[in-house]
Structure 1
């Protein structure tokens, strides 16, 4: 075991931060547009009290909108709405639309341009074909944790809720013009990168530090941000960062998922405070749940405890939403949490995309996947 220490800058309150990746779409072709640099150049010149909230990503077709440190979901929404408006002031005149989903229905991965950046160049040199395939988008939610000793217990138990979050947010059924048969193809693809995928379930922070030390010593990572787990500690920010969700098409759904994550972390924290031992599941159950949720979405039968009991993910979700209601009121996100229950009723994004495709085909549309892009662009615009 190494002796590297990883300082966790604990957050006094359960603060929130969101990173929302979105893709630029050409208004005419509906394909992705590699024009992020152009957009960023102009957006950056617009003064804002809080500085740059829109950043570059690996691919030149991608923008990432990042919030400041917030306390509530309504604050997050206000922050994102403001940033989005400043982006649209630039993209609208350029003939560009914004879209967010786990994947673009028909864009070709092999035609994408990479953002000039040493770190990205190195990533692609190393990961080759798989790295170039990363034409995928996600949403990352940070929740502040007030003690380093709580981070791993909360993280390990959050893994029990992996399938709920994946199923609710799944928005990547199509890839390169094909229906993959998965609700979230993104989940399967992203884990091909080294250090991506499910986190290890460490019992103590010292064990985590030992892992980090080993990764540095053996040259697997150059910085802590190279650990690309689906849920990870973010020591610099003093948060747990939940990276499970596929790109979320609308602010309404993003608010709902953020509320669900915020409530879960605060609920688990309270149970730790009360001296409770949080339930976990063996890694093989967690892994199976990830696969089931990414394949079957809201129709997944998931494993809900270490004893191997199974339930339909939506049944288990309903029970959790009831349990979290008081927490949501305390965190000022009761309305947003209530929207989570509506997602299965109205269809998750992967279901809506397939319905749009089927309807377009039934009309005899020559390019039904373009209709899918149109529907995603419209959802983003309507919020």
Structure 2
């Protein structure tokens, strides 16, 4: 069996990945132009601007950063370069987890062996992946700890989803959900909530088993809502919809970084491995995808039903000391503003109704989300 070496991190470094849609500047529909956009970059940040499965999506990655402020500065610089190239090509960037009216059948698959192979393997389930998310990596110091944190952070994942819901529409219809993206992702055989694992050995066995039995070809075909990343030495949280601007992205990254560090500290100090029943997490994830910050989630410890806004407020209060240590206090406190405001899904619905069309809504929000400079 293949041995997976975990690249340990001495500090809780942070890396932010954002997936943005590419829009035609006239119709505001998705445009399959990622390769053209990357080719047009005047100063390409090497390896940090990438195509995704579909050509209508571009991925931007921050450098490995010590603080959220560092990651934000890095992302802002890259976004300016990408926005400039997009402007020259008649394109815009879409900050939302699904597009309201473009159809998946019209999207072009990126022409690489890996992505073509995924479509061949997953068929329509791959072609429907016209979704955009936020992924946050936080460094940890061992593989065993990474697996333990993935287990313990699961109870918080529905709250992260509720705070970022931004995908109410799908192919010109209102789904009634606030996060259609999370439901589309669950259609993949290795996506959604991860199985419970006790240590790095068990995780390694599971990955090798899936490869050896032909269920996956490589570890890169595991798309759980949270997963260990052995090469980066991180816990990667993949639950979130794509927030509607960079302020919200950085606030959610701060919340995730602080949560991972708190759980890491608890493991070092010695705590009982509390088992939150997977069905309870699935139930809360459904509630979050349906109602966003209006959801009431079941507390895994006392089984009380609590409003998301109350949960978020208590989380921020509990994590403030860690945020001070990690120098992300202002970003963490912005989570309170996110929780108090309408979700991006609700804003999309309201704007589409007020402006009279989804295209006008996309026009407005894509303009407002652009970074300055």
TM-score bracket for this pair, using the shorter chain length: over 0.9
Question: How big is the shift at 1:228?
Answer: 0.9
State the number of aligned residues.
372
Correspondence for 2:352 among 352, 357, 367: 357
Can you list the C-alpha shifts for 1:41-74, whole angstroms capped at 9, x where unaligned? Answer: 122x5265xx332111111111100111101100
Superposed counterparts of 1:23-172, under 5 Å: 23-43=21-41, 45-46=42-43, 51-172=46-167
Counterpart for residue 334 of structure 1: 329
Tell me, which stretches of 5 or more residues in structure 1 are unaligned?
A: none
Correspondence for 1:370 among 346, 359, 362: 359
Question: How big is the shift at 1:128?
Answer: 1.4
RMSD: 1.4
Segments ≥4 residues shifted beyond 3 Å = none
**1:19 correspondence with 2:8:** no
Superposed counterparts of 1:145-294, under 5 Å: 145-294=140-289
SS at match of 1:317: helix
Per the normalisation by structure 2, the TM-score is: 0.97
Check whether the contact 1:271–1:278 (CA below 8 A) recurs between aligned residues. no
Superposed counterparts of 1:311-326, under 5 Å: 311-326=306-321
Q: C-alpha separation between the residues in 1 aligned to 2:146 and 2:60?
A: 26
Question: How big is the shift at 1:23?
Answer: 1.1
Q: C-alpha separation between the residues in 2 aligned to 1:343 and 1:237?
A: 29
Give the 3 Å change call, closer, same or farther, for CA 307–218 of structure 1 in structure 2. farther
SS at match of 1:233: strand
Q: C-alpha separation between the residues in 2 aligned to 1:203 and 1:379?
A: 44
Give the 3 Å change call, closer, same or farther, for CA 306–284 of structure 1 in structure 2. farther
Q: C-alpha separation between the residues in 1 aligned to 2:320 and 2:275?
A: 22
Check whether the contact 1:280–1:306 (CA below 8 A) recurs between aligned residues. no
My pick for the range that moved more, 146-155 or 261-270, is 146-155
My pick for the range that moved more, 293-302 or 168-177, is 293-302
Q: C-alpha separation between the residues in 2 aligned to 1:229 and 1:148?
A: 17
Q: C-alpha separation between the residues in 1 aligned to 2:229 and 2:198?
A: 17
My pick for the range that moved more, 7-16 or 147-156, is 147-156
Q: C-alpha separation between the residues in 2 aligned to 1:88 and 1:357?
A: 24
Can you list the C-alpha shifts for 1:234-271, whole angstroms capped at 9, x where unaligned? Answer: 00100000000111221000010000000100111111
Question: How big is the shift at 1:91?
Answer: 0.9
